[in-house]
Amino acid sequence: MRNLFFYGTLRHEALLETVLGDAGVAALRPAQLPGYRAYWADGHGFPFLTQEPGGQAIGLLAEGLSDDAIARLDFYEGGFGYGLHPVTVQTDHGPVAAQVWLVPDGTYDRGAPFDLDDWARCRAALNVRAAAEVMGLYGTRSAAEVARMYPMIEMRAQSWVMGRAEQVPDAPGGMTRADVDLIDSQTPYIDYFAVESQRLRFRKFSGDMGPEVHYASFVATDAALVLPYDPVRDRVMLVEQFRMGPQVRGDRVPWQLEPIAGRIDADETPEQTARREALEEAGLELRGLELISRAYPSPGCSNEYFHTYLGLADLPEDAAGVGGLLAESEDIRSHILSFDAAMGMADRGEIRVVPLLMALYWLARHRDRLRAGA
């Protein structure tokens, strides 16, 4: 049995319970670690400890942890460069020998001082959901593999949190999630994307609960899409890039014309993602955003959810070019087209990506208003 000092997010009860599972913890009590202070890892959603004369890291002392509990905790922490080190913490009953997770100097850049309440307001629900996916991989994947996948795990968690919180109109039939009886859920495939398989029953329009069914869904994330439009010049920007969906389908032309798009990072709003992606993919500063829709592109087989915008922008001839992030193997060519030319392509069936068609048709409906206000 061992003692561990928690100074960061594992002080949150729901997160700790998710990570420990049935292993549990014998006792938790307040403690402090002199000579250290906790800071956010800059650009990440977690803290780290740094030595600081006169500092004092506040936290919890977990006493009597089993080998299984330690193994689960080490799996959760280990892929991010953390290792256990012996320390002496101070409690109301005097000093106690314990261990704490530390990272080597220089592993992360130091951000602001860590505050658990700030983290809980912004990220607790997301991190608890992400931890459930991480711990579902315990015993089947290495901590290093989980760390590689973790950005997408966080984005999937962000999507789930947004889905639970979003205020949406009632279905015409009046049914909600309360009319679904979830029996079992499994994730037979998980990597950059995932597949979730559920056994469930749902209420029929007759009012009776239906039979047990076995359904599956491709699990992606929420994404922000933006069609740049210059109302003065009456032009749009479309982007062209290689796409895996047409490649797998056997399409003769895997390159597609699309709106600018990107997955919503864990600490972003859809609007922030739309602006970031416009810069990354096309070097474009957007003057404003108009919401087109928030919708599922294919709800029968995927949880993917699109926040689609029209982006007001200046689009001179030289705005087109090649962009994208090399780190993500992106190779994206942007095209400037007149509104009439883009709609002509839509009419001829030359645009084969539904969100782009939807955005163009929305623009056709609102174009006069946008041009009048330019």
Best CA proximity match to 237, nearest among 334, 343, 115, 124: 334
CA atoms within 13 A on the CB side of 6: 26
Q: Is 56 exposed, middle or buried (0-12, 13-18, 19+ CB in 10 A)?
A: middle
Of the residues 196, 212, 290, 328, which is catalytic? Answer: 328
Q: Is 302 exposed, middle or buried (0-12, 13-18, 19+ CB in 10 A)?
A: middle
Residue ranges in the chain assigned as alpha helix (H):
13-20, 67-78, 116-135, 143-165, 244-249, 270-282, 339-347, 354-372
Do residues 65 and 3 make contact, with C-beta atoms less than 8 angstroms apart? yes
Residue found by looking up tokens 């506040």 in the block:
58
Q: Is 361 helix (H, G, I), strand (E, B) or coil?
A: helix
Do residues 240 and 320 make contact, with C-beta atoms less than 8 angstroms apart? no
The amino acid that residue 333 corresponds to is: R
Q: What angle do CA 193, 11, 113 make, to 5 degrees?
A: 90
222-230 and 305-312 beta bridge pairing: parallel
Q: How far apart are CA 222 and CA 155, in angstroms?
A: 8
Do residues 262 and 282 make contact, with C-beta atoms less than 8 angstroms apart? no
Q: How far apart are CA 197 and CA 204, in angstroms?
A: 21
Instruction: Give yes or no: 268 in active site.
Output: no
Residues tagged active-site: 328
